């Protein structure tokens, strides 16, 4: 799955995700996601490896792998879990 974040358009998914899950993902606003991803890519390193953002019963977590990639986990209380890798383009 590819997830793109745009300041004006928000999140887009390829392939599209079910509306039930889309509403969970949309609990965070674009600024929340920008803060999260900027923190992952700009603040993590070999010495500070994990960043969490918890809000609305949802946890976003990224973990440093190397300077251009991070593991990513989106988990909700409703048992939705999206796991993957974030790569800097």
Angle at 83 (CA atoms; ends 19, 38), nearest 5 degrees: 95
- The answer to whether the bond into 54 is cis (omega within 30° of 0) is no
pLDDT band at 7 (very low <50, low <70, confident <90, very high): low
32-66 confidence digits (pLDDT tens): 888 888 898 889 998 999 999 998 888 999 999 99
Residue 9 has pLDDT above 70, yes or no: no
Q: What is the pLDDT of residue 21?
A: 66
Written in H, E and C, the secondary structure of 56-82 is CCEEEEEEEEECCEEEEEEEECCCCEE
Q: Taking the complete model, does pTM exceed 0.85, yes or no?
A: no
Tokens 């004006």: give the residue. 8
């Amino acid at each position: 799955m590819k997830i793109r974040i745009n300041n004006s358009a928000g999140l887009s998914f390829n392939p599209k995700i079910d509306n039930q899950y889309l509403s969970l993902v949309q609990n965070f606003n674009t600024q929340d996601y920008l803060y999260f991803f900027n923190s992952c890519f700009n603040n993590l390193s070999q010495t500070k490896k994990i960043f969490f953002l918890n809000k609305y019963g949802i946890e976003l977590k990224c973990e440093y792998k190397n300077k251009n990639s991070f593991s990513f986990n989106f988990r909700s209380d409703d048992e939705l879990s999206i796991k993957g890798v974030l790569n800097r383009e």
